[in-house]
Amino acid sequence: MQAPSNLTVGIIGYGDFGSFLHRFIRTHLPQVSVVAYVRGREPDRDVFFPFEEVCASDIVIPAVPIRAFADTLERIAPHVRPQTVIADVATVKTYTVDLLKKYEGKFRFIATHPMFGPYSYEKKGKSLAGLRLVVCERTIDDGSYAKVKRFFEELGLDVIEMTAEEHDREIAGTLFLTHLIGQVVTQGNFRRTDIDTVSFGFLMDAVESVQNDTALFEDVYRYNPYCKDALARLDRAEADVRTRLTKEDAVG
């Protein structure tokens, strides 16, 4: 199944993920017209186009920081058509879904979280095979969704369906934890050496994949209601381990 040749995709924001999406669509879906907008960049009518034109696309992807999502939707809403689909790709879901629902009747939406980015895509040899895409709530009809899901699966993605609450709860104990450890290891100035074990190499692979995502790390903690509990669990576990080590020192 191929994407329709007359399909237009508009990307709002051009950070790591937005620019990755743009390159991916141009390379692998050349029949799709993709345009982008980023604040502060003059339209060149090659990559970047005026905001209103990007919003007039069939699919609009707000690839912006979570903290900018609400303001971006407010700016988009007057310029989209009722048949436009807003494709939410944010790392949190309960927050963005609640915002999207406020625009019922203005546009349709599908709330997703691609469980990959440019780093993992490169590590996979520029293949989507086996990578995961979470789909939460949507207002597109069942027939349209079935086509979208089949399209994603034919690209090689594993499509996982869950509620926004289930997503955020699981992300707090996985992705957020990875970012947290990555920030701690980076802050502690731990580095690779010439005698690394394989397991340390795996740890540093994870650290290096997230260590520069400080703004995302902070936004996920702020907007995912389950992250505070994950942080508290880690604090308790770290204290328990430290107590055990201290006891062993005392015995020694």
Q: What's the pLDDT band for 90 if we cut at 50, 70, 90?
A: very high
CATH 3.40.50.720 domain range(s) in the chain: 8-163
Within 8 A by CB and 6+ apart from 177, the residues are 230, 234
On the question of pLDDT at 153 being above 90, the answer is: yes
Q: Give the pLDDT score at 159.
A: 98
Reported as a single tens digit per residue, the pLDDT across 98-152 is 999 999 999 999 999 999 989 889 888 999 999 999 999 999 999 999 999 999 9
Question: What are 191-200's contacts with CB under 8 Å, separation 24+?
Answer: none
Tens-digit pLDDT profile for residues 2-21: 666 689 999 999 999 999 99
Q: What is the pLDDT of residues 155-177, one digit of tens each?
A: 999 999 999 999 999 999 999 99
Residue 129, SS3 per DSSP: coil
Q: Which of 3, 59, 68 is nearest to 30 (CA)?
A: 3
Share of the chain above pLDDT 70, in %: 96
Query: Which letter does DSSP use for residue 39 in this model?
Result: T
- pLDDT, one tens digit per residue, over 63-88 is 999 999 999 999 999 999 999 999 99
CB-CB contact of 149 with 159 (8 Å): yes
pLDDT at 31: 93
pLDDT > 70? residue 250: no
Third-level CATH fold of 8-163:
Rossmann fold (3.40.50)
Q: Where are the beta strands (DSSP E) in the chain?
A: 8-12, 33-37, 59-62, 85-88, 108-114, 132-138, 158-161
Mean pLDDT of all residues belonging to the chain: 94
**Looking at residue 4, what is its pLDDT?**
61
pLDDT value, residue 252: 57
C-alpha–C-alpha distance, residues 228 and 213, integer Å = 19
pLDDT of residue 251: 60
Residue 112 phi/psi, 5° resolution? -130, 165
